[in-house]
């Protein structure tokens, strides 16, 4: 008699983890996304999707070449006093869309410790509405520090309602501190 071993199906998980912050000790502005998308997670780089407007906008506003390699772009941001991070440390999300983040799986980053280590941050800019909403709901009530908050149009290619020029103008106002 032949015995067959049947393996249980592998449990599919859409668990994703964000990146460490990129921040110089004297950072003045913190740019927050919600959670890196699939392209960014695969490349382990912030804003890696080729159609995401973040790097072209940051380069124009801060005066560096958007064609620099990733490490040099991060150095240019830090030299300009801009830090990058995401609101969420972890969550479950199939794909890249913020709308697909499962609410019951959210784990926010530790902003109290981060802001203690970066006392010069006076402005937090949200890259899109979901980042702002997640921060205000899950992080802001836990903080006792006052900073200037700026909601910005998402640089994601999924946010096609705003033109590049409109996004650029809003980001220019926000990043010029």
Residues annotated catalytic, as ranges: 52
- 159 Cβ neighbours under 8 A, 6+ residues apart: 128, 153
State how far the Cα of 109 lies from the Cα of 25, in Å rounded to an integer: 18
Check: CB of residue 35 under 8 Å from CB of residue 100.
Answer: no
Residue whose C-alpha is closest to residue 174's, from 119, 139, 112, 122: 122
Q: Which residue has the tokens 């560096």?
A: 64
3 state DSSP class of 16: strand
């Amino acid at each position: 008699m032949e015995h067959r071993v049947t393996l249980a199906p592998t449990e599919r998980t859409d668990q994703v983890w964000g990146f460490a912050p990129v921040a110089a000790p004297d950072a003045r502005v913190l740019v927050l996304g919600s959670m890196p998308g699939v392209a960014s997670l695969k490349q382990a780089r912030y804003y890696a999707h080729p159609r995401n407007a973040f790097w072209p906008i940051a380069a124009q506003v801060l005066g560096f070449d958007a064609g620099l390699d990733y490490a040099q772009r991060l150095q240019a941001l830090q030299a300009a006093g801009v830090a990058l991070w995401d609101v969420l440390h972890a969550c479950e999300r199939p794909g890249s869309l913020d709308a697909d983040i499962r609410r019951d799986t959210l784990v926010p980053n530790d902003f109290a410790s981060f802001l203690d280590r970066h006392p010069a941050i006076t402005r937090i800019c949200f890259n899109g509405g979901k980042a702002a909403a997640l921060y205000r709901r899950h992080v802001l009530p836990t903080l006792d520090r006052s900073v200037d908050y700026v909601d910005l149009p998402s640089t994601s290619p999924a946010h096609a309602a705003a033109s590049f020029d409109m996004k650029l103008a809003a980001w220019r106002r926000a990043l010029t501190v």
